[in-house]
Amino acid sequence: MIGFQIHQRDRAVDMATVEQFKKLPVANVSDMMSRMYAGGAHLRPMHDGTPMAGPAVTVRCRPGDNLMVHKALDVASTGDVIVVDAGGDLTNAIIGEIMVAYAKKRGLAGIVIHGAIRDSAEIGRGSFPVFAAGVTHRGPYKDGPGEINSIICLGGMTIEPGDLIIGDADGLLCVPFDITQKVYEQTVEKHAVEEKMLADIDAGTYDASWVDARLKALDCTF
């Protein structure tokens, strides 16, 4: 039935790629994607801030209903990130402490909810990555419909099953499957430049002359 389906995922980023991205700040990766991709500033870490990275298992569910999220917990493989489009609705929580404990036990890498969670204090004390848009005590329904491993969109960011999902204290980002290596190589270079800048600031040798050069190029009047 359309809108009530479970699909097989036919590709996913490999674990070697996942491990590479774990070492890089999400902000640097975003810079190398022209700052045009984001899951929405409202999707924030609800855990202790531990970085997250893994291939996406996508879920589209009716706002306030988590039946397909429960199924996704069993469909997902070790190291996967479950990414849920719950419409951004904050009326009912989609997951709570029990589902997070089960996801952790199954070896998943994290959960993203474009919607609300509950048991926020317990989740907040933990290191298992959970990103969500809000918190409410009101629990979910379990009636469906929904889809697993279809294309979803969070805050304008399109996610296909198997794409790389990364997250840290600055937020979430999807790196499309086909460009992960290119983005990684460019991000490594960007990160090295910023590390050099920080070292120069610490040493008192940082050159900020580019600011005046930029203002002059933009015809700013002094």
Angle between helices 97-105 and 67-75 (to 10 degrees): 10
Q: Torsion angle, CA of 153/79/115/143, rounded to 10 degrees?
A: 100
State both tokens at 171.
């937020």
In whole angstroms, give the CA distance from residue 120 to residue 83. 18
Q: Which residues of the chain have pLDDT under 50?
A: none
Element (DSSP H or E) covering residue 180: helix 180-203
What pLDDT score does 53 carry? 98
Q: Residue with structure tokens 């304008």?
A: 156
- pLDDT tens figures, 119-146: 999 999 999 999 999 999 999 999 999 9
What pLDDT score does 222 carry? 83
Q: Are 187 and 32 in contact (CB under 8 A)?
A: yes
- pLDDT tens figures, 12-43: 999 999 999 999 999 999 999 999 888 778 99
What pLDDT score does 40 carry? 78
In whole angstroms, give the CA distance from residue 15 to residue 78. 10
Q: What rounded mean pLDDT belongs to the chain?
A: 96
Residue 33 marked as a ligand binder: no
In whole angstroms, give the CA distance from residue 150 to residue 68. 12
What pLDDT score does 124 carry? 97
Domains belonging to the chain, first-starting first, are 4-177 (3.50.30.40), 186-218 (no CATH)
Residue 99 marked as a ligand binder: yes
What pLDDT score does 41 carry? 83
Residue 195 marked as a ligand binder: no
Residue 97 marked as a ligand binder: yes
Q: Residue with structure tokens 């979803």?
A: 152
What pLDDT score does 76 carry? 98
Q: Torsion angle, CA of 115/140/137/121, rounded to 10 degrees?
A: -70
Residue 96 marked as a ligand binder: yes
